[in-house]
Amino acid sequence: MSAAHRVVIIGGGFGGLYAAKSLGRSPVSVTLIDRRNFHLFQPLLYQVATGALSPGEIASPLRYVLRKHRNTQVLLGEVVDLDVEKRRVILRDGEAPYDDLIVATGATHHYFGNEQWAPIAPGLKTIEDATAIRRRVLSAFEQAERETDPQKRRAYLSFVIAGGGPTGVELAGALGEIARDTLRHDFRHINPAEAQIILVEGENRMLPLFPPDLSAKAEKQLVGLGVLPRTGARVTNVDEDGVTVKIGDKEDRILARTVLWAAGVRASSLGKVLAERAAAPLDKAGRVLVEPDLSVPGHPEIHVIGDLANFVHQGGKPLPGVAPVAMQEGRYVARLIGKKLRGKPVAPFHYFNKGNLATIGRNRAVAEFGRLHLWGFVAWFLWVFVHLMYLVEFENRLLVLVEWVYNYITRNRGARLITYGQP
Amino acid sequence: MSAAHRVVIIGGGFGGLYAAKSLGRSPVSVTLIDRRNFHLFQPLLYQVATGALSPGEIASPLRYVLRKHRNTQVLLGEVVDLDVEKRRVILRDGEAPYDDLIVATGATHHYFGNEQWAPIAPGLKTIEDATAIRRRVLSAFEQAERETDPQKRRAYLSFVIAGGGPTGVELAGALGEIARDTLRHDFRHINPAEAQIILVEGENRMLPLFPPDLSAKAEKQLVGLGVLPRTGARVTNVDEDGVTVKIGDKEDRILARTVLWAAGVRASSLGKVLAERAAAPLDKAGRVLVEPDLSVPGHPEIHVIGDLANFVHQGGKPLPGVAPVAMQEGRYVARLIGKKLRGKPVAPFHYFNKGNLATIGRNRAVAEFGRLHLWGFVAWFLWVFVHLMYLVEFENRLLVLVEWVYNYITRNRGARLITYGQP
């Protein structure tokens, strides 16, 4: 084994995991490095944040998923640097030599220079983010129940979500359902349905990556759940009491004790390391501008995939930071490494767009398949089907199906626990 | 409603929740106070700690469980004191007046004066305890995988559980299964089956509350899972590197990086408050010695139930701190309050012992029903059945059933995530 071609993959998200799976039967030695011991099915993370699913139901232990690949080892560790001359990944407590390197470390929140907003307006990327948001949202209703001052109570019952992309829309829709349905009979002093849920988006429509007609459908479906959409509105300040938004020239103050951030992402810090060590060109968001074969210019042995990559060789617009892109890129790089070893040529990466889905709530979603645009129940049903199919373990599919069927019938969300940090 | 007889219940565990449920149709106004927003099904908490179940699957939002009881309000808050003269419960941020008070705040870990052991040897009482233990156990295997020094590796692969009662036995058995089955194909540099799992018990047999023949069966079943039982052994020291145990006059040192504490419980601090404010007599463990009707002597309006109560009026031995005792006591006090309001006499509390169950692992358990003693598959199947039946929500029953069937077939434990405190 030690003589085998060594492939190191950094990151066990969709890109890294699909690359590792595709390399499972190749004559190479694979090392998958991640800081966490599990793959997280991020498209459903907002359901953990809103109490519909438990963390374990959308996470799969990486070792378990890859247990049958005898050529693959999983390494729990944090990458701090790269030595591209000696082809070594530097970990906090060790190193891993490579012949081919796949960097798939994704993206994190971006506050556009206002990092001080982070503790007030948390984003949603990790399990810990999700349980923290869940705690905030549920605690806000609890505090409203005990608050006697009407104005303070109003602030507890006001929720602002910054960012009208898929995550923001999903969070806003789920909050609408929590306020109107889930908590309907739970309180004695407040009416949760009076909660204000405000979704703020800078562009002039929600879901700007979707066609305009579907944006309009999405907005209508949000309004139906009691969400107030504010488009063309930029968040200019966030503090403990609420947010300030600018619409045109007018500044507006919204009093709200809960602010969630879904407005921007920035590439992971490994982008900077690649820029320094391998002279990789970066875009504004810190993503690596990759070659047509997803490699770093001048470094055919370093491949960048997923949210960390900016791939623009197909029509001019960079590919979006979604799971299908990362999955296809992971599979492509695995195939490329196999062909390279056999001395065969490789065609440039080509993304096959199967369509786009975004959900808003129960029976509410939008779907785009080229010129076919769907919304409402049909789009929602497709969304449910696709997400169940792509969940990584069969066990998780069963568990999520049970939760969803049950939630669909009762409108309950069973995982709405307020939990705290470790003792 | 404000003129109704006010019943305040402190604690939403088995005792408090069953009292609240039983009072749901009485002409009284009920306030259930808890620090947490959910009821925790503690008998299955060890399965969260060992990666078999997710927290949400054994927790039920208290508001949801009681949503249909219009005479009941749930109050999320921390009780800091009692004013027994003015009949008020003092919260950190408010107060709640009562006509009848039910105190059901349970018990916590007890280190017998060695509280400095707590951070090294965590106990298992809360969801946060369980996810912390899960992190420690899984991280130990991860660190062993990366450790090259054989002696250090051995220490990472050594686990000591202090206390051979039901919780200790369950934890030890689950660790045995994790090492032998769950992680079998997961690592490349260690063989998890080489892990040492040592269960230390002060008495001369495991499960001392069970009959001796079942203790012997339990020990045999533990050994079958690779657990090393050490009876008649007292833990005299715990530090970062391991534990010291005393067997007879001999002290023995066990090097182990993971130590779990299941050796003692102490009544919650509300016991002391009752002693100070209502002159309640306490036993050595801080439990309130209650009257035959579960009231505090001299205070017929204060009822103490569950693990906080020491009830000795039936044969001389105090009732054990188990769920069925708390449930029956909760129901009894609810009935007592109803009868008191109608001016009717109430018979003393009588515990109906339906039997005792303790599980060790897959197909392994012991059960006592009076003179009928069972073990192995039959006892285990009964244990599974009873625990599914008593889970509080139907949804949780379904989810746990799916997890168990799946785990039974695959020997996998899907919820083995290493998670950290809130960001």
User: Does residue B24 sit in helix, strand or coil?
Assistant: coil
Look at B61 and A186 and tell me if their CB atoms are within 8 Å: yes
Hey, is the C-beta of B192 within 8 angstroms of any chain A C-beta? no
Complex-level ipTM: 0.91
Write down the pLDDT at residue A422.
52
B359-377 pLDDT, tens digit per residue, is 999 999 999 999 999 999 9
Q: Which residue has the tokens 């002159």?
A: B279
- pTM of model > 0.90: yes
Write down the pLDDT at residue A387.
95
Nearest CA in chain A to B74: A187
Residues of B within 8 A of A393 (CB-CB) are 414
Tokens read off for A125: 């990327």
Side by side, the strands of the sheet bearing B258-261 are B227-230, B196-200, B158-162, B258-261
Write down the pLDDT at residue A394.
87
A170 is catalytic: yes
Give CA–CA dist A372/A379, Å, rounded.
11
Give CA–CA dist B357/A379, Å, rounded.
49
Q: Distances from the Cα of B311 to the Cαs of A40, B10, B297, B339, B399, in angstroms?
A: 48, 19, 12, 21, 36
Q: Which domains does chain B have, with CATH numbers?
A: 5-35+77-109+266-341 (3.50.50.60), 115-263 (3.50.50.100)
B304-337 pLDDT, tens digit per residue, is 999 999 999 777 889 999 999 999 999 999 999 9
In the stretch 125-144 of chain B, residues with CB closer than 8 A to chain A read 126-129, 131-132, 135, 138, 142
Give the Cβ contact number of residue B244 at 10 Å: 14
Q: Distances from the Cα of A111 to the Cαs of A250, A260, A360, in angstroms?
A: 22, 12, 24
B384-412 pLDDT, tens digit per residue, is 999 999 998 888 999 999 999 989 998 88
User: Most B CBs within 10 Å: which of A41, A185, A187, A405, as the mutation test of the B interface?
Assistant: A185
Please give, rounded to a whole number of angstroms, the shortest distance from the CA of A74 to a CA of chain B. Answer: 8
A139-186 pLDDT, tens digit per residue, is 999 999 999 999 999 999 999 999 999 999 999 999 999 999 999 999
Give CA–CA dist B167/B124, Å, rounded.
8
Residue A315: pLDDT band with limits 50, 70, 90: confident
Residue A301: pLDDT above 90?
yes
Give CA–CA dist B29/B98, Å, rounded.
9
